Structures are given as structure tokens and as C-alpha cells.
Amino acid sequence: MNYTSASGSSVHQTVSLIMAAKPLDIIVGQPTTDTMNKMVEQMAQMVAPVKTTAWGGHHGSLALVLNDADYSSITKAKITSTKPVTQPDAINKGITATSTPLEILTFQEETKKLQKEFYLQEAVTNIRVQHINDSVKEQYIEELNEEYFGYANNTIKSVLHHLRTNWCKVMTRERTDATKAFIRHGCPT
């Protein structure tokens, strides 16, 4: 499917079709560290096939799910940030009264490319945030629901972070494994 030449809603439709092939597990009850790890893994597998030139262009939209350290560790990429792409200005600021026709065309093409990347990122984010919302009981994410905007101002990372920091419970087995690892490797001094 070609979303690289599409814009706006057609990008959203195409990305939706790509991601529909990889469903997200439903979390029954309160999220745990294990269920959140599984969700992040599934999310990464869902967004990686959505190609982009952002963040070096080699790992699809993976940067929309993983934080900087995890992204660098997994991809071995030497990027400094996985920050979202910002919406470009409608008219490239490089265009001036003295710009040649070739420079104007070049700037316009650059702006189109940046706009496509932004639309793609927004489509991936909106679709995945909705899938997270559909996979978790409303009580765990209702704090993120803004009047008039719903969940539109959230990113994949912000919703995952909210679930991890506010709702994840550590299971007994995880606590036992962490204690054993701490004892085995000693206390850091």
C-alpha cells in the first residue's frame, strides 16, 4: 500500500489498513508490568512496518512507541532524539523575495515531504492511541480524556507512560525475580 504519495485522510486510511493486520491484546483487569511489556512489544511490531524517513528512516515509525534509550538499544541507531515530527509551516521560511524559481520549487517539495511525514505520524499516533484505549478498561485512561478533545492530545508514549506509572501493579513473581537478581549481582555502591 502506498501512503507516501497520499496526504491527510487517505494516509490515515492506508495506515489503518496496515495496522489492522496486527491486533492488540486486550488487558483484562488492572495493567501489570508483564501486560504493559507485551503491549509495548505488540505496538512496536505494529508501527515498525509503517515506513517513514523520520528518525533515520530505517525502522519505520518505531520511534513513536519507544523512548530514546530503548530505541537506540534495539535499533543500534545513533540518533539523539525520538521526539515527534513537528507540523511544518504552510510556506517554507526559506522562500524569500529574492529566491529563484528553482529554489522556490525545492523549498515547496521539501515542505510537501515534511507535511507527509507529519500526516503519517499523526495517523499512526491516532490509530494506536485509539487501539490502546480499546484494549484497556476506561477507568485506567479516563484521566487522559480531555473535554472536547478526548484523547487527541495524547501520544502513544504518553498513554503507555500513564498506564505504567499510574496503574501497573508489580506481580509477586516479578518482585521475587528482581530480589533474586539484586542479591545475585550485589548491591551497587
3-class SS string, 39-65:
HHHHHHHHHCCCCCCHHHCCCCCHHHC
Q: Are 65 and 82 in contact (CB under 8 A)?
A: no
Kindly state the average pLDDT of the residues 62-67. 89
Residue 22 has a pLDDT of 79
Mean pLDDT of 76-104: 88
| Model confidence, pTM | 0.77
pLDDT digits (tens, 9 = 90+) for 137-147: 988 888 888 88
Q: For the chain, give the mean pLDDT.
A: 84
Q: What's the confidence (pLDDT) of residue 42?
A: 92
| Per-residue confidence (pLDDT) for residue 1, from 0 to 100 | 45
Query: What's the rounded mean pLDDT across residues 3-15?
Result: 67
Q: What is the pLDDT of residue 101?
A: 94
Q: Which of 16-25, 29-38, 63-72, 99-108 has the highest mean pLDDT?
A: 99-108
In this predicted structure, what is the pLDDT of residue 98?
A: 94
| 123 pLDDT tier (thresholds 50, 70, 90) | very high
Domain ranges of the chain: 9-185
Compute the average pLDDT of residues 15-26: 83
Please, which contacts does 84-93 make with residues 24 or more away whose CB atoms are closer than 8 Å?
84/121, 84/125, 84/155, 85/54, 85/114, 85/117, 85/118, 85/121, 86/118, 87/115, 87/118, 88/114, 88/115, 88/118
The answer to whether residues 46 and 19 touch, using CB atoms and an 8 Å cutoff, is yes
Please give the pLDDT value at position 188: 55
Q: Is residue 86 predicted with pLDDT exceeding 80?
A: yes
State the pLDDT confidence band at 187, using cuts at 50, 70 and 90: low
Work out the average pLDDT over 142-158: 85
How high is the pLDDT of residue 122? 92
Average pLDDT over residues 74-86: 83
